[in-house]
Structure 1
């Protein structure tokens, strides 16, 4: 069997700014399929021309499409077109996982992969190859006799059993995102998150149980990125890279022992950093140059609404700690909480300006399917145009803001932060112009 795996083009905010990386989820599925003896082709529409309307799909037995919410309108068109041409379509990713019923009922896919898909996808393809169209496999859903059948996912407990993602199947030279002066490559070393913030779907998609790859497995993949592909910068895309400080210290030590000489950044939480200065020191020695931290707001009532389980004053403490070890901060804030006001937004913007972060990101609160926030607000949605669910548009009826008013506050926040002397010197007017021009 031959399988085509498609990553629809991302029309969202970060892609328009030029910050995007290979679709590692599909790359993991591709390598798992290859290990099982199947032939795959990976298409990332962010960097490759692929006209789904002109594609006949005749040479493929199965098409797999990965989609989050912003990319779903295009994923739906591809799925519908491929099915019309007689090809079996399997759809996965966060949006497909949380909208399996509607996707199957609307005829946009034959099967849905729920959550992480390496094992379920392979088992499903095996069943299809022998003519079993309604297999009872954990982590899939399908429509049978007009009834949606769902078989709950079983998360992979030992991530080391999974093969490394199929980067060879992607045009790596077309990914041009830089970090610390070098082209950067992404890697994932853990899955799941125990914190369950109400605006985030990670807990539902990957589970509350945080699962980690071994240090040995991670170092082996890093060696491939450095020695085979020539990367000098790496981004750890774990949702919470620093949850196990001991593991981070061991990994940092191994990066140094193996003379990898990489510069890297990762996602973290402020409280984990403050409790573990020895971890911060080890990360800095091994090449950590930046950490992405979701501070979200300067207002305690907003943090409580988000179920963030943090206090705002921790931000300045962690900023001081990271400056000590020359690690920059990528600070993220969310505007538009249900109890947000114009004054509370001003406090957050003032807070962000004082923090001293190298990069500041603002997003508009967005109820993504699969989140607690979506369940709370699904009857108040202003649009079902999922291309607007990119973190730069208000998509629900807000008690204090119209979409236009919150949009103005969002743009003013960026302007206020990036016209400070420190960031104008560091990032320059071209960065601000690009940021605002692409926030349409």
Structure 2
């Protein structure tokens, strides 16, 4: 018997009707050759050539496609991976005459014609990539009419949310199959079904299927990878690490490595113990955390080191320290088996999992950077967003990590939660100052589909109506703030009047405009102002390297960055003539900046 099978589009159809529809739609098709595509992260309207040349855009291996590739190869299928994002960033840095559409679609056409796939699978992780995905899908349909399947976090979130489902599926009208959740097994079983037993639909799972007449059926039975399937590492040979760190960035700690270092990623376990209301990890991966064997992770690391000369990896785990004993064993084996790769945890780690033994083993195993998932320093907000941490956990984690200065430690903060007051946010400021760690990444809340906070805010009328393709992260190289800065080079956030933002009624909920000022206050107070008092030479050098990156790549027209870079270079007795002159030049050209630096007592 088929279990948990439902036909959501339309609901009155029965299983036999679906079976006949499936057989009719597939016909005599056989899927032996599968091309897996990673679209560009941003479409032509979002993409900025200057940003690409500064190597600011993310350039991650398509890790999920790599795993799917090995699952298909194991079953005897022919597979290729086309990483259009990497190709676009490479060409942006290597060709003299840049043409986004020509670079993307000519390369796409060439690979399709050369490989002649029977089926094309596309991945999409972020909402900001939606329009880019749609453009690639529509191009393939127009030029080749090859059947297409899509999957990934964005696909799952958009279809699982009743708010976005219908509009999302209609928007991708040229897609035949939508796979939800971790789908490497479901996708491989689907292809087996197509090739061997079209009438037997028992192994069709977690799929939305569009039949030949345009009807939509959803099978919500689900297969969760576990055991030996978890130990299957991605096919790194199909996504070599040559350009990932050269023409883009992976994680947040590349500035601590040499400029010619090679980067990649590794996933050691899946899922997260937490159920934070702003996060969709548990919806995608399920409630449990499933771990690979330690040796399978070590083997993958050794391959990357010896076969691809990788110097540094970012762990993709959402809960790297879920099992402390396993984490310690993993880090210990990285040291014992001489992996010789440094690593970071840019996705964040849960503070309550941190012990001195864990961090000692992490340091010996090559850790150079971690983010702590804190979000808020107010107990009421932490409870509201179901954060698995307390202020005591945060302070304890900070004390432990400060004993290991070679690990650059950053903190993830979020502001703008529903009904969060100035007072609530100021609690976060106070706890952060007490923690006194290396950097605080402050992000305004960006509710994403298929998260509890998105559904609640939508129900409460707190979200403006927007299309899936318009949901973008506020920060980052593809974010809204970055786009505004590209239009107005003097629109730096720190130029505003932000130091008195907490002088108003602390029981008020800040407006959107005030959230920007709160962000500026926190960014300056927690990150820049504290640089005046650091004395540890290791920490000074880490901060100097990071500010050098910000000054040259991220905010070259911000004299505050150059001022503090000058301050750190002076402490390190390095040549600070460029930094000092940059401050003078900027305030000469822009009187507003001179007033701001005077207001902050910097000149």
Fold agreement, TM-score > 0.5: yes
Name the one with the larger strand percent.
1
The corresponding residue for 2:133 is 75
CA distances 1:259-302 after superposition (whole Å, capped 9, x unpaired): 223322224211110xx322222222222222221110122222
The corresponding residue for 1:345 is 425
The structure having more radius of gyration, on CA atoms, is: 2
Shift of residue 430, structure 1, vs aligned partner:
4.9
C-alpha separation between the residues in 1 aligned to 2:273 and 2:288? 6
Query: Does the 8 Å contact 1:32/1:162 carry over to 2?
Result: no
Residues 159 and 333 of structure 1, relative CA distance in 2, 3 Å threshold: farther
CA distances 1:9-41 after superposition (whole Å, capped 9, x unpaired): 224999983444212011111222222222222
The corresponding residue for 2:316 is 237
The corresponding residue for 2:63 is 24
Query: Does the 8 Å contact 1:394/1:407 carry over to 2?
Result: no
2:104 to 47, 51, 67: 51
- Given the two structures, how large is their TM-score scaled by the length of structure 2? 0.65
C-alpha separation between the residues in 2 aligned to 1:283 and 1:251? 9
Shift of residue 347, structure 1, vs aligned partner:
4.1
Shift of residue 343, structure 1, vs aligned partner:
4.3
1:126 to 192, 201, 205: 192
Query: Does the 8 Å contact 2:148/2:177 carry over to 1?
Result: yes
2:441 to 357, 361, 364: 361
Shift of residue 432, structure 1, vs aligned partner:
5.7
Does residue 94 of structure 1 match 2:144? Answer: no
Shift of residue 88, structure 1, vs aligned partner:
0.8
C-alpha separation between the residues in 2 aligned to 1:286 and 1:40? 34
1:217 to 291, 296, 311: 296
C-alpha separation between the residues in 1 aligned to 2:430 and 2:549? 23
CA distances 1:21-79 after superposition (whole Å, capped 9, x unpaired): 21201111122222222222222232213524885545221111111212112112222
Structure 2 stretches of 5 or more lacking a match? 1-31, 89-102, 160-164, 482-507, 535-539, 558-603
Map 1:211-360 → 2, pairs under 5 A:
211-266=290-345, 267-273=348-354, 276-326=355-405, 327-360=407-440
C-alpha separation between the residues in 2 aligned to 1:261 and 1:80? 44
Secondary structure in 2 matching 1:376: helix
Secondary structure in 1 matching 2:104: coil
Give the aligned length.
433
Residues 339 and 369 of structure 1, relative CA distance in 2, 3 Å threshold: same
Residues 81 and 25 of structure 1, relative CA distance in 2, 3 Å threshold: same
Query: Does the 8 Å contact 1:264/1:287 carry over to 2?
Result: yes
Does residue 417 of structure 1 match 2:538? Answer: no
Query: Does the 8 Å contact 1:366/1:394 carry over to 2?
Result: no
CA distances 1:227-246 after superposition (whole Å, capped 9, x unpaired): 22122322211111111111
Residues 161 and 298 of structure 1, relative CA distance in 2, 3 Å threshold: closer
Moved more, 161-170 or 290-299: 161-170
Query: Does the 8 Å contact 1:82/1:88 carry over to 2?
Result: no
C-alpha separation between the residues in 1 aligned to 2:471 and 2:106? 24
1:140 to 195, 207, 212: 207
Shift of residue 87, structure 1, vs aligned partner:
1.3
Moved more, 316-325 or 352-361: 352-361
C-alpha separation between the residues in 1 aligned to 2:302 and 2:358? 22
The corresponding residue for 2:182 is 116
C-alpha separation between the residues in 2 aligned to 1:283 and 1:55? 41
Query: Does the 8 Å contact 1:349/1:417 carry over to 2?
Result: yes
Residues 403 and 132 of structure 1, relative CA distance in 2, 3 Å threshold: farther
Residues 253 and 54 of structure 1, relative CA distance in 2, 3 Å threshold: closer
Residues 54 and 190 of structure 1, relative CA distance in 2, 3 Å threshold: closer
Name the one with the larger helix percent.
2
Moved more, 252-261 or 220-229: 252-261
Shift of residue 130, structure 1, vs aligned partner:
5.3
Shift of residue 433, structure 1, vs aligned partner:
7.2
Residues 172 and 372 of structure 1, relative CA distance in 2, 3 Å threshold: same
